Structure 1
Amino acid sequence: MLVSLNDILPDAANGSSAIPCCNVFGYEEGRAIVAAAETLKRPVILAANKDMVDFMGVEALAKMLLSLAHNSSAKVCVHLDHTYEEEIVYQAIHHGFSSVMFDGSQLPLEENIRRTKQVVQVAHAMGVSVEGEIGSVAYNEGRDHIKSISTVPEEAAAYASESGLDAMAVAVGNVHRLTTPDSVIDYPRLEEIAGLVGDIPLVIHGTTGIKEEDILKLKQTRVSKFNIGTSLRMATGENLRRLMNEEPNKFDKMYFMQKVMPFIQAEAERIIRLLA
């Protein structure tokens, strides 16, 4: 069942649970993640990140992810992750994504508000939810041009009230693409942000780098969406490597991916249970 962020985040933000947003790097991963959501009868967000958009294109990704959502008994949001160009955001809306993220985190505040507001006007007219980012969540590797800037609570308040967005990603010590839970969460900053932004659900990127006890604490706050990519990629890559080494005479991709999918599903189920 296809849904938007607005169908699933408000209840989570007002309660003590959160929704996982899982980066998808292929059909097999998407199918395993949706199977996890169906097994646990919980919503899930399938996210297409910049790497996949560059590789497959928006239209092909939409067809793949939307087919998984429409055919699922679970609530599935199909979300375009960090995107810096409005043209790509509008392509995603045109091709059926139910949610988009315009990332203006590297822009001056006024420009981020202005451009996010323009995206919101278009997206909302099509029934599509919009996520934005204030402050800047750095990357451990891969995108050196992305700055590390902690979210300023007063700027978060202005962004929330003036842009019209539906969910807001914040930088409170979280880091993208960490393989170990080394992030130190700035709880006083997060509490101040939550107190200033009203009903806007908050989003944490870089979940793999956050300790489980912190995730359990964070989901009790206004944080209602956690983005996960690295731990799922690790489940895929580590098990694929092991299985191929165990059977060096096999070479069929489908053979190995079908063997890997249960490990991806198990990791997705672990994440969903943690956030439930």
Structure 2
Amino acid sequence: MNPHMKISDIMKSAYEKHIVIPAFNIAYLGMVKPVSDALSECRTIGIIEVSRPDIENFGAESIGAVAQKYREFADLRFTFLHLDHVPVIDENFLPVNWLAMIHEAIEHGFDSVMIDGSRLPFTENVKITKKVVEIAHARNVCVEAELGSVLGHESIPLPPYEEIFEKKIGFTDVEHAKKFVEMTGVDWLSVSVGSIHGAISGAAKNQKKVTARIDIEHLEKLMKATGIPLVLHGGTGIEIDFIRRAIKAGITKINIGTEIRQAYEQGLKIDENVAQEKVKEKVKELIEIYQIQGSADILLK
């Protein structure tokens, strides 16, 4: 856990000041250093995170391995460590030992964890999220949860993107979001407002993601209803204008995985040094797009 600053304080400050905290998924252990270096050089506060797909489908190896690399390379003046997407039911609709993963991350000093019960009925999602909140808060660890369904990880084919957006397939229900936050005490909420995840298997994982949009009006309703930091998953591939508008409308944390993973994999075709440099360049590019250079100086005031 970061001894210099608390993630809860930083997220609260970012929420109030409409400054986004970028969260970078570590699909390979070699990505930890360039992500941290880019954040440090830009004096930008960000999150290094790992998800179950990063471990099982790519080269992140384990929760403990990522924690070790983080302790070795991360600049704690600018970074936090987060466990992303621990599903109760996975993309193949099979049960996951989610409690073991949550406990493991807490024991390894993660600053925050995410429980994803979005494939469950509302009442079950509330019940499990509330349990994780009780466990994590007892150790001063923040909790992110998901309501609605950010599609893309599933093993079944998705409808065309325009159909997803126009019909609001999987979008987070505003009234449900209000009740969910009140009933669980969760710190942040991942919402579905138009973004989609990158593919994690098959040929699609190497392809460019579809260009996505954000339903800003729906997002604004969610912000007013919940009153807590909202999280945008599937940050790769969203039009820049929509991202900037989403930040003003309540998005406090944005997850980026596909874009930096593919940069790393392209670089690996040459060697590890090139791969790390490509990741560093991409992170700096995203920091500029999100207009958060020097965010540490503002958020720590």
Normalised to the residue count of structure 2, the TM-score between the two structures is: 0.80
CA distance in 2, matches of 1:73, 1:187: 33
Residues 267 and 41 of structure 1: CA distance in aligned 2, closer, same or farther (over 3 Å) = same
* Corresponding residue to 1:64 among 37, 50, 69: 69
CA distance in 2, matches of 1:144, 1:14: 39
Q: In structure 1, what is the equivalent of residue 140 of structure 2?
A: 127
Q: In structure 2, what is the equivalent of residue 78 of structure 1?
A: 81
Residues 187 and 40 of structure 1: CA distance in aligned 2, closer, same or farther (over 3 Å) = same
CA distance in 2, matches of 1:142, 1:107: 14
Gaps in structure 1 of 5+ consecutive residues: 245-255
CA distance in 1, matches of 2:209, 2:61: 29
Query: Which deviations, in whole Å up to 9, do the C-alpha atoms of 1:166-219 show, x marking residues without a partner?
Result: 110000011001734521321221111111102x10000011121011111111
* Corresponding residue to 1:95 among 94, 105, 108: 108
Normalised to the residue count of structure 1, the TM-score between the two structures is: 0.87
Residues 45 and 145 of structure 1: CA distance in aligned 2, closer, same or farther (over 3 Å) = farther
Tell me how far 1:122 sits from its aligned partner. Answer: 0.8
Which moves more between the two structures, 21-30 or 225-234?
21-30
Q: In structure 2, what is the equivalent of residue 31 of structure 1?
A: 33
* Secondary structure in 2 matching 1:21: strand
Give the number of aligned pairs.
259
Q: What are the equivalent positions in structure 2 for 1:153-232 lying under 5 Å apart?
A: 153-177=174-198, 179-180=208-209, 182-198=211-227, 200-232=228-260
Question: Is 2:274 the partner of 1:269?
Answer: no
CA distance in 1, matches of 2:43, 2:147: 32
CA distance in 1, matches of 2:157, 2:115: 17
CA distance in 2, matches of 1:190, 1:152: 10
Identity %: 30
Q: In structure 2, what is the equivalent of residue 144 of structure 1?
A: 156
**CA RMSD after TM alignment:** 2.1
Tell me how far 1:138 sits from its aligned partner. Answer: 0.2
* Corresponding residue to 1:240 among 268, 274, 289: 268
